[in-house]
Amino acid sequence: MTRVITVGAAQLGPIQKADSRENVVARLVALLQQAHRNDCDLVVFPELALTTFFPRWFVENISDADHWYETSMPSPVTQPLFDEAKKLGIGFCLGYAELTADGHRFNTQVLVEKDGSIVGRYRKVHIPGHEHNEPDRPFQHAERYYFEPSMEGFGVWNAFSARMGMMICNDRRWPESYRVMGLQGVEMILCGYNTPIHYVPDPSQDSLAGFHNALVMQSGAYQNGTWVVGVAKGGIEEGVDSLGQSMIVAPSGQIVAQALTTDDELIFARCDLDWCDRYTKTLFDFDRYRRPEVYGRITSQRGVVEE
């Protein structure tokens, strides 16, 4: 019997600083309803989908940023999204800033099943940007100040009759993210992102932002025989232009759906999970062809060592 998930990638346009959480949740609910009308089983929202991308500003006292974080999920303000999803019988994946009861700050995604139950929670592993204020920049990317890297790594969950994985934004640029999930039999990876088009440390990369976005997700999908759903918060947010180009990538590495705007936009695809086997049981039969005995450096060192 073929297994098919119809997945929606619910790209968001910008969320400005002044936009209320209630207003944002209403946008998410509208996209969820649109996904339901298109028979989606699951809809994926971007990284930090409830707020503006606040790491673009530095505050001396980090507790002054507490209002950007969620201390519970669901929360009173996100409950309408959970209620509507359960009513419609559609799952979702939502990115948000998490502040734990013991004061830890994570960039987090949660996966919710069709019955409203939380399947799993993923906390971002690769935290890009900088730790300190860099006032000479046109805008900050102080994720390393606002979030600590997860020590939990990349899990894979049985949900939606599939092996589901999650990663967040910068994680998609690292082959290890996909491979750790590939080694757990992942069949669909859900990834929200906020990618400013202007890369301050090396502006020569700006014109390649879309190319690199597709390059990493297409190769990650192909090399691990998995679906990848990449979902942007795009457009001009507080003066910073961010990449749209949300996409759904097949295990072949082919893009099967792609957003055309940088605004709120739903794209969707019927994803045949058995397509994964065509790659994981042939060219990328890990058990048959991988050589972990010569990959030791991957986990024993971080930076380059020249001997």
Q: Give the nearer residue to ligand CDT in terms of CB position, either 58 or 193.
A: 193
For ligand CDT, the binding residue among 36, 123, 163, 173 (CB under 6 A) is 173
Q: Distance between alpha carbon 151 and the CA centroid of its chain, in Å?
A: 17
Task: Point out which span in 78-86, 181-189, 190-198, 232-240 binds ligand CDT (CB under 6 A).
Answer: 190-198
Q: In the complex, what is the shortest distance from the CB of residue 99 to ligand CDT, in angstroms, rounded to a whole number?
A: 18
Q: What is the CA radius of gyration of the chain?
A: 19
Q: How far apart are CA 29 and CA 47, in angstroms?
A: 16
In DSSP notation, 156-185 reads EEEETTEEEEEEEGGGGG-HHHHHHHHTTT
For ligand CDT, the binding residue among 108, 170, 177, 246 (CB under 6 A) is 170
Q: Give the nearer residue to ligand CDT in terms of CB position, either 194 or 226.
A: 194
Q: Give the nearer residue to ligand CDT in terms of CB position, either 78 or 242.
A: 242
Number of residues binding to ligand CDT, judged by CB under 6 A? 10
Which helix (DSSP H) or strand (DSSP E) does residue 231 occupy? strand 227-232
Where in 230-269 is the site for ligand CDT (CB under 6 A)? none
Query: At 44, phi and psi to the nearest 5?
Result: -110, 125
Q: Which of 246, 253, 306 is nearest to 275 (CA)?
A: 253
Q: In the complex, what is the shortest distance from the CB of residue 266 to ligand CDT, in angstroms, rounded to a whole number?
A: 21
Q: In the complex, what is the shortest distance from the CB of residue 7 to ligand CDT, in angstroms, rounded to a whole number?
A: 21
**Contact letters (x/-) for ligand CDT, 100-139, by CB under 6 A?**
----------------------------xx----------
Which tokens belong to 30? Answer: 């509208």
Long-range contacts of 244-249 (CB under 8 A, 24+ apart): 244/11, 245/210, 245/213, 245/214, 246/9, 246/11, 247/9, 247/213, 247/214, 247/217, 248/7, 248/9, 249/217, 249/218, 249/221
Task: Point out which span in 7-15, 191-199, 251-259, 276-284 binds ligand CDT (CB under 6 A).
Answer: 191-199
CA 207 → CA 30, 210, 218, 249, 250, distances in Å?
A: 32, 8, 19, 22, 25
Q: Give the nearer residue to ligand CDT in terms of CB position, either 47 or 237.
A: 47
Q: Give the nearer residue to ligand CDT in terms of CB position, either 169 or 188.
A: 169
> 11 - beta bridge partners?
265
Where in 30-49 is the site for ligand CDT (CB under 6 A)? 47
Q: In the complex, what is the shortest distance from the CB of residue 230 to ligand CDT, in angstroms, rounded to a whole number?
A: 10
For ligand CDT, the binding residue among 51, 195, 226, 280 (CB under 6 A) is 195
Q: How far apart are CA 181 and CA 228, in angstroms?
A: 12
For ligand CDT, the binding residue among 106, 147, 160, 193 (CB under 6 A) is 193
The answer to whether the CB of 217 falls within 8 A of the CB of 243 is no
Q: How far apart are CA 67 and CA 132, in angstroms?
A: 20
CA dihedral 194, 32, 125, 122 (to 10 degrees): 160
Residues catalogued as catalytic: 47, 124, 169
Task: Point out which span in 63-71, 147-155, 167-175, 221-229 binds ligand CDT (CB under 6 A).
Answer: 167-175
For ligand CDT, the binding residue among 52, 140, 177, 194 (CB under 6 A) is 194
The residues binding ligand CDT (CB under 6 A) are: 47, 128-129, 141, 169-170, 173, 193-195
